[in-house]
Amino acid sequence: MKRLLSFFFFFLALSPVPLWAAASDWQRENGIAVRLISSDDLSSNNKELTLGLDIKLEEGWHIYWRSAGEAGTPPAITTGGSDNVESLTILYPAPHRLTLMGMDTIGYEGHVTLPLRVLKKEAAKEMALQASLDILTCSTLCVPRHFDLALTPNMASSGEEKALLEEALERLPATQDTSDLSILKTTLGTNTIQVTFNAQGGLQQPDLLIESASDLTFSKPSVIPVPDGHGATLTASLLSPLSEGAVLADIPLTLTLINGHAAREITLSPPLALHASMTTPSHALPPASPLPFWTIVLLALLGGFILNLMPCVLPVLSIKILSVIKHAGSHKDVVRHSFLASAGGIVFSFLLLAAVTIALKASGQAFGWGVQFQQPVFLVFMIALLTFFAANLWGFFEITLPRFILDRVDTSRHPKLAGDFAGGMLATLLATPCSAPFLGTAIGFALAAGSLEIMAVFFALGLGMALPYLAIALWPHLASALPKSGNWMNILPRFLGFGLLGTAVWLLIVVRAQTGHAPFILITMAMAGILFALYLRHRNILRGLMPWAIGGALIASFFIATLASVPLSLQKESGVWKPFDEAAIASAVSEGKTVFVDVTADWCLTCKYNKRVVLGQEDVSTRLFGHEAIITQQADWTSPNPVITDFLHKHGAYGIPFNIVFGPRAPQGIALPELLTKASILDALDKAKACQQGEAC
């Protein structure tokens, strides 16, 4: 018997898996599988236990970090029905940045384990965990999931829990400098945050994530490596302006620096002097001095040239190809002036972007490379431009110079210079959502510098992108040596026009993501109508009516895009709206507060009109969102929601928009008209609010 017991204990000593390890069964939905795991003994006398939420995501799916970025929500877990559980906290390993349709979010893909810190009510008693998990899973679509999970002491072990949890705990951001990653300097500017760090293992896709209670949004940081490759300076810029009088130094911030599998977290607490530099003691190498300005200009020149090869600009390759082919065998002056016009369009556009950037920076507005693609109105402008260029390639109409210029120019020597100039501008505009090698360093430097530096860097970018055109203008025989035009030239433009139309379709998909389904359908119909009208005009059918039809479609498209682009300050993610909670309305009213409820949906164009035209007015938004006595709730009816449907029916509404004001003098609510007005909102707020001292009620 003793030998048998000795063998049993010897076997336990050699076993790599603790007997107390436990794991729940996997629960699976489309795209995700989750379970609870533990390497701690749930019946031990420890007050604090470490468990894990083990998650496997199918390819193409992701979940979100504790701060999701421009969209998304983090996992939420509750422990109702658990035995001997006082609290549960999710710990988050270092995430990575995810970019979809131009939006930056922060999260996880593949297999990830989120450690759970659990406190027991009584240390001496065993614990049984009943957890309700709500988690948002996203691919091209986002689907909220709900799981009911349980973990008890008698559950079996799969043998991998300890290793999974140890790896997850190692990936938690360090709160002190380590040999792998150390912060040397943190500098707050007016609109920027700059972190210089040392990484002994070299740079591994470094990133800087910035969190604040004010829900500030920052750009993806630019990276300027130090010469030895063991560190870098990261600079992130504000994407949304601070409120008047606010400075970054007065706002508590949490910075998470990530370099490969290493992460370092630092909290900046006010008061801090503006532009102050906080230096963290370290034995690491001192930070390198910034790159000289001439180096930045050369990087901008190279980055601009490489933009010609990026996918964003490839659709414009059709224009470039045709601009070379059409000059085959032409006079050298024709070739030279045509390509100089295209280069001029590119450089002019970059200088225009520089001027806009300087103006936005001076006014405290959001600025950055490609930021205009976040605006539906700009996207509609680009879609219309691409539609017209495609129609031009199909021969529906020609782009010509104004008459007062044509009268002074020899058209045999300078044909279609306006089209060449416009082609250069289009290439620039389509290049702005792209990021080429060396471009990020140059742009990051420019956005953090002064007006002259911004202008110089953007000029270098334009010059770099225009280099192929300038080369042909300098040596026009390169174009003249090509085969002369033939019948094939009548076929190629029509084929290449579909490339431009494909780019327009891509931008329409982006519009749909930003504005919803209804504006997308209307704008698509308008663009299709413009193409059809240009075709009829080309065929001399209703020629006089066509300009009016085209103009009407353009005006309607811009009007729809303007209404559909809800101001940033009123969007769901802005922080001014509380989630809809019908039970909280009565509680708030009993405390003397006023509650404004907005029932809306992404597909509701009238809802967006109300926010753009009425709620966006300064005196209305100041009244609604500037007082603690007024609570603003938003009910999102984008997807079917029986709770919101019942709320609408209770108040005699069966569609949206629907807005209603509750208050001490209007506990049953004052319903507002579908099309809001400033007077109707302010009047309802006055009627519903609590009586003030000395006021007759």
Tokens representing 598 are 């907005």
In which residue are the tokens 């999701």 written? 68
Domains in the chain: ranges and CATH: 21-170 (2.60.40.1230), 182-279 (2.60.40.10), 295-564 (no CATH), 568-688 (3.40.30.10)
| pTM for the structure as a whole | 0.43
Tokens representing 270 are 């006010």
Model confidence over 552-567: pLDDT tens digits? 777 877 777 666 655 5
Q: What pLDDT was estimated at residue 516?
A: 66
Residue by residue, DSSP assigns 451-481 as: HHHHHHHHHHHHHHHHHHHHHHHHSTHHHHT
Tokens representing 404 are 């007062």
Q: Distance between CA 559 and CA 671 in Å, rounded?
A: 28
Q: What pLDDT was estimated at residue 278?
A: 40
Residue by residue, DSSP assigns 124-163 as: TS--BEEEEEEEEEESSSEEEEEEEEEE-TT----S-HHH
How much helix, strand and coil, in percent to the nearest 5, is found in the chain?
40, 25, 35
The H or E element spanning position 367 is none
In terms of residues, how long is the chain? 697
What distances in angstroms separate CA 678 from CA 157, 173, 607, 665, one per listed residue? 63, 48, 15, 20
Q: What pLDDT was estimated at residue 285?
A: 32
Q: Which letter does DSSP use for residue 573 in this model?
A: G
Contact 438, 300 (CB under 8 A): yes
CA atoms within 13 A on the CB side of 136: 16
Tokens representing 591 are 């405390």
Q: How many CB atoms lie within 10 A of CB 493?
A: 19
Contact 177, 280 (CB under 8 A): yes
Contact 439, 369 (CB under 8 A): yes
Taking Cα atoms as reference points, which of 281, 213, 284 lies closest to residue 252?
Answer: 213
598, with CB counted inside 10 A (0-12, 13-18, 19+), is buried
Q: Distance between CA 170 and CA 183 in Å, rounded?
A: 19
Q: What pLDDT was estimated at residue 596?
A: 94
> Residue 32: beta bridge partners?
29, 57
> Residue 224: beta bridge partners?
233
Long-range contacts of 372-378 (CB under 8 A, 24+ apart): 372/432, 373/102, 373/432, 373/433, 373/510, 374/102, 374/514, 375/565, 376/511, 376/514, 376/515, 376/519, 376/561, 376/562, 376/564, 376/565, 377/558, 377/561, 377/562, 377/565
Q: For the chain, how big is the Rg over CA atoms in Å? A: 31
Q: What pLDDT was estimated at residue 75?
A: 92
Q: What pLDDT was estimated at residue 315?
A: 54
Taking Cα atoms as reference points, which of 25, 21, 24, 23 lies closest to residue 40?
Answer: 21
Contact 470, 543 (CB under 8 A): no
Residue by residue, DSSP assigns 293-313 as: HHHHHHHHHHHHHHGGGSTTT
Taking Cα atoms as reference points, which of 211, 215, 216 lies closest to residue 266?
Answer: 211
Contact 264, 181 (CB under 8 A): yes
> For 272, left (φ over 0), alpha (ψ -120 to 50), or beta?
beta
Contact 425, 311 (CB under 8 A): no
- Over the chain (697 residues), what is each successive 10-residue block's mean pLDDT? 44 44 84 89 81 92 87 84 87 88 80 92 86 84 82 72 88 87 85 87 89 81 78 85 74 90 85 40 35 75 74 54 58 74 85 77 51 64 76 68 42 56 71 53 60 83 84 71 56 68 73 69 83 81 73 76 58 70 89 91 69 81 83 82 82 80 92 87 89 57
Residue 641 CA from chain centroid, whole number: 26
Model confidence over 213-259: pLDDT tens digits? 777 888 888 888 876 667 888 988 887 777 766 777 778 889 999 99
- In 475-543, where does DSSP find H-type helix? 477-480, 488-515, 517-538
Contact 511, 563 (CB under 8 A): no
Instruction: For the chain, report the end-to-end CA distance as a whole number of angstroms.
Output: 90
Q: What pLDDT was estimated at residue 415?
A: 47
> For 140, left (φ over 0), alpha (ψ -120 to 50), or beta?
alpha
> Residue 659: beta bridge partners?
598
Q: How many CB atoms lie within 10 A of CB 27?
A: 15
Q: How many CB atoms lie within 10 A of CB 201?
A: 13
Q: What pLDDT was estimated at residue 6?
A: 46
- CA angle, 597 as apex, 596 and 602 as ends, to 5°? 135
Q: Distance between CA 35 and CA 55 in Å, rounded?
A: 7
